[in-house]
Amino acid sequence: MANWFECKVRYDKLQENGSVKKVNEPYLVDALSFTEAEARITEEQTPFISGEFNISAIKPTKISEIFWYEGGDRWYLVKVAFITIDEKTAAEKRSVSQILVQACNFRQAFENFEEGMKGTMADYEIVSITETPLMDVYKMKVVD
């Protein structure tokens, strides 16, 4: 199971109008620890950032799964409540999970989520779908 860490990278970004603006952009990395998350985001961002940058924050997330879509340029967080029935009390129990979905727009995020959930036998209800400010997501590199 993946451990997803949100890492914020602070650096000077060249704007389209030629001015330089200090930005603090969030990224998601799959890592085993805070130390590995810092090393991974540094490795991933070094080729893209000219000049100095620093990692301003690292925090673990509660993302349980990611539905990838190659054509998507945005990331949406889907909060979904899985519904189970307690056999003893017959009470309905909800457990909320967070799933990250890659898509181009809100409608596509919903469709990609539904497509990703096709194989599940569990009853669920979408609590919310929100666009995240994430710039990119870096999964664990597989070493051959």
- How do strand 4-14 and strand 53-60 relate by DSSP bridges? antiparallel
Q: Do both 10 and 49 map to the same domain? A: yes
CATH number of domain containing 25: 3.10.20
Pair (78, 127) in one structural domain: yes
| Residue from 130, 90, 124 nearest 110 by CA | 130
Q: Pull the structure tokens for residue 47.
A: 């080729």
Q: Count of domains in the chain?
A: 2
Q: Is the pLDDT of residue 142 over 80?
A: no
- Name the residue range of residue 70's domain: 64-131
Instruction: Report the share of the chain in percent with pLDDT over 70.
Output: 97
Distances (CA, A) of 92 to 63, 64, 87, 95: 23, 22, 9, 10
Residue type at 15 in one-letter notation: Q
13 and 72 together in one domain: no
Task: Over range 119-141, report the average pLDDT.
Answer: 94
For the segment 27-43, what is each residue's pLDDT rounded down to a tens digit?
999 999 999 999 999 99
d(CA 30, CA 82): 24
Residue 4 structure tokens: 């997803």
Digit-coded pLDDT (tens) for 65-86? 999 999 999 999 999 999 998 8
Q: Which two tokens stand for residue 8?
A: 């914020």
- Structure token pair of residue 19: 């001015």
Helix (H), strand (E) at residue 106: helix 106-116
Residue with tokens 């898509």: 103
For residue 141, pLDDT beyond 80: no
The per-residue pLDDT of the chain, averaged, comes to 93
Each residue of 51-63: pLDDT tens digit?
Answer: 899 999 999 999 9
Residue 73 lies in a domain: yes
